Amino acid sequence: MNLPMKDEILKRFLLAKDTPISGQSLADELGISRTAVWKHLQTLQEEGYVFETIKKKGYVLKGKPDKVDPARITSFLTTQRFGRNIQYLDEVTSTQSVAHELAREGVHDGTVVIAETQTMGKGRMARPWESTKGKGVWMTVVIRPDVPPSQAPQFTLVAAVAIVNAIKSVCKNFTPTIKWPNDILINGRKCTGILTEMLAEMDRVEALLIGIGINANQQMEDFPPELQTIATSLSIEEQAEINRPQLVAELLNYLELYSNLYIKEGFKPIKALWEESSGTIGKQIKATTLREVIEGKAIGITEEGVLEIQLDNGEIKGVYSADIEIM
């Protein structure tokens, strides 16, 4: 697959390591003008790549945009509220815990907590979440929608749709799919998990904490053995380095767009977007809930985001939360 010209240039610098590459040789090799080469280098610099000029020899790539610091994220943001307040931490137990504290202190809708690594990253039901340092997106977005607690699970689906679109805007070599309710898969392997937690009163959500973990730049050996058969990263699938700040910003751009859409028009438009990217609907599945194991065909989600499974005897069961195995 042909890469965009800017990425072709970047790839050559990554391969050349410390050997300088001249603007003229790039222009000749790629069949473009030296001015065009220079413009692409400018764009790469704006994205956080650092080039050193070596007299009479050319350029060497000296730095990559490898931190998810707020300045880099903000340079790609188009939002009004989401990501306009970012708490950036090098190491944290879990971004969810920090977000809980901030939410209780009353931070604004769209506040983000993001870290380079988590020492106690968590999935649903306190399962551990592997958060390799500097390689993924480990973040929590605090949102404050004016909805009853019963609608909170729908925000996992809003987030899933936003994540799929953000991934599609930075990766071109594959199509991610959503596995109900909270996983994003690439070719059957998990690249993203979502954990939605809530601070609420009886009839009103005070804050939703949308925890998102995306494997961005891990290579297979970065994963512990037990994940090597079930997990993947965007970089492995795209065969390129992922610009994490750009990915985070795209995600926040889409998350604001879709939560606004949800607040304005309800779940219906989100449901349609979700179904377009679903890898669950139409499949034979096994759903393990806290109470039972249900096997059947996933036939759709309801207006509430509940998964409907048709059993062999024709009966339809609705599932609010479960672990899904696609058969």
Q: Considering only 20-28, 103-111, 133-141, 153-161, which stretch makes contact with ligand BT5 by CB under 6 A?
A: 133-141
197-226: contacts with ligand BT5 (CB under 6 A):
211-213, 215
Long-range contacts, stretch 92-96, CB < 8 angstroms, 24+ apart: 92/117, 92/118, 92/119, 93/118, 93/119, 93/120, 94/118, 94/120, 94/121, 94/122, 94/211, 95/121, 95/138, 95/139, 95/140, 95/211, 96/122, 96/140, 96/195, 96/197, 96/209, 96/211
Is the CB of 76 or the CB of 129 nearer to ligand BT5?
129
Does position 123 bind ligand BT5 by CB under 6 A?
yes
Stretch that binds ligand BT5, among 19-27, 103-111, 141-149, 188-196 (CB under 6 A): 188-196
**39 vs 124 by CB, closer to ligand BT5:** 124
Q: At a CB cut-off of 8 Å and minimum separation 6, what does 152 contact?
A: 196, 198, 200, 205, 208
109 versus 130: smaller Cβ distance to ligand BT5: 130
CA distance 218 to 241: 9
Going by C-beta distance under 8 Å and a sequence separation of 6 or more, which residues neighbour residue 301? 157, 180, 271, 274, 275, 281, 307, 308
Chain residue at closest Cβ approach to ligand BT5: 193
* Interaction of residue 127 with ligand BT5, rule CB under 6 A: yes
The number of residues that bind ligand BT5 (CB under 6 A) is 26
Q: Which is nearer to ligand BT5, 87 or 96 (CB)?
A: 96
Residues 53-70: b if buried by 16+ CB within 10 A, e if exposed: eeeeebbbbeebbbbbbb
| 171: its two tokens | 């990766």
Q: Does 279 bind ligand BT5 (CB under 6 A)?
A: no
Does 102 participate in binding ligand BT5 (rule CB under 6 A)?
A: no
Is residue 227 near ligand BT5 by the rule CB under 6 A? yes
219 is an annotated ligand-binding site residue:
no
Which sign, positive or negative, has the C-alpha torsion 232, 94, 135, 5? positive
Residue among 58, 59, 65, 140 that touches ligand BT5 (CB under 6 A): 140
139 binds ligand BT5 (CB under 6 A): yes
Tell me the closest approach of the beta carbon of residue 100 to ligand BT5, in angstroms: 11
Two structure tokens written together for 300 = 């759709």
The residues, any chain, with a CB within 8 Å of residue 248's CB and separated by 6 or more, are 68, 73, 83, 114, 137, 139
Tell which one of 76, 138, 155, 274 touches ligand BT5 (CB under 6 A). 138
Interface with ligand BT5 includes 193 (CB under 6 A)?
Answer: yes
- Give the three-state DSSP class for 278: strand
Q: 118 or 177: whose CB is closer to ligand BT5?
A: 118
Closest to ligand BT5 by CB, 213 or 279: 213
Q: How far is the C-alpha of 156 from the C-alpha of 305, rounded, in Å? A: 9
From candidates 61, 68, 112, 195, binder to ligand BT5 by CB under 6 A:
195
CA distances from 305 to 152, 181, 263, 300 (A): 10, 9, 15, 9
> Candidates 32-40, 82-90, 120-128, 252-260 — which segment interacts with ligand BT5 by CB under 6 A?
120-128
Determine whether the annotation assigns residue 96 to a binding site: no
Binding residues for biotin: 118, 190
Interface positions with ligand BT5 (CB under 6 A) = 94-96, 118, 121-124, 127, 129-130, 138-140, 182-183, 190, 193-195, 211-213, 215, 227, 231
